[in-house]
Amino acid sequence: MNLAEAVQLVSFVILGLMMIGGALGVVLLSSIVYSAFLLGAVFISMAGMYLLLNADFVAAAQILIYVGAINVLILFAIMLVNKQQDFAPLPNAGIRKVFTALVSVGLLVLLSTMILATPWSYSTSTPTGESNLVLIGEHFFSDFLLPFELASILLLIAMVGSIILARREYIPDQLPVSELPQTILTLPERPRELVSTTSITDQNT
């Protein structure tokens, strides 16, 4: 084992431990804010894995989109629905968790035996290295053109749908009949009800 392989192995072990530990923290910790930050750690270690796999463009996209967009979005959602409540205990909650853990470990064992038993046909050609951005661009505009365009439509639909879902509801029988010169650029929305004493977060939503 030469130096490069040793460095790769050590960084793989560090990133893997960071990823598995972060994922366990996301699932098992009780505070959801800690879970969100550990999810960011998982995303960053995943970007390191992509660098180990000779994919620099996707690693940069992973950090930009997952850490920069999705994780921040999750943190904003946590801040908006931040209701400190203790969930009512369920009957047989322990049995449920034990059974789910058994199913998950069984799935892991099944996948592991499948991975270790399969004879993978390794390619002998060298990885493309730094020209993979050019290759991805060629794929996008030749043989993956239709999914590429569909992805833009999907993003547009998701943007419109999430705006409509998160907006306050529109009540049509309260159409303003006044002819006063009111401010023009206002959406007709339900006025925010000031539910007192419960929490401040209601006013933010």
Partner 1 sequence: MQLQYFLLLAAALFCIGIYGLITSRNAVRVLMSIELLLNAVNLNLMAFSNYLDPTLIRGQVFTVFVITVAAAEAAVGLAIVLAIYRNRDTVDMEQFNLLKW
Would you count residue 204 as binding partner 1 (CB under 8 A)?
A: no
Q: Which of positions 171-190 make contact with partner 1 (CB under 8 A)?
A: none
Answer for which of 14, 34, 70, 145 binds partner 1 (CB under 8 A) is 70
Answer for which of 41, 44, 49, 67 binds partner 1 (CB under 8 A) is 49
Would you count residue 126 as binding partner 1 (CB under 8 A)?
A: yes
Determine the straight-line distance between the first and last CA of the chain, rounded to whole angstroms: 57
Would you count residue 111 as binding partner 1 (CB under 8 A)?
A: yes
Of 47 and 179, the one with the shorter C-beta distance to partner 1 is 47
Site of tokens 């804010």: 33
Total site size for partner 1, rule CB under 8 A: 85
Of 92 and 178, the one with the shorter C-beta distance to partner 1 is 92
Of 77 and 174, the one with the shorter C-beta distance to partner 1 is 77
Would you count residue 37 as binding partner 1 (CB under 8 A)?
A: no
Answer for which of 41, 44, 48, 66 binds partner 1 (CB under 8 A) is 66
Q: Which of positions 78-107 make contact with partner 1 (CB under 8 A)?
A: 78, 80-81, 83, 85, 87-88, 90, 96-97, 100-101, 103-105, 107
Q: By the 8 A CB rule, do 78 and 32 touch?
A: yes
The CA distance from 191 to 38, in Å, is 37
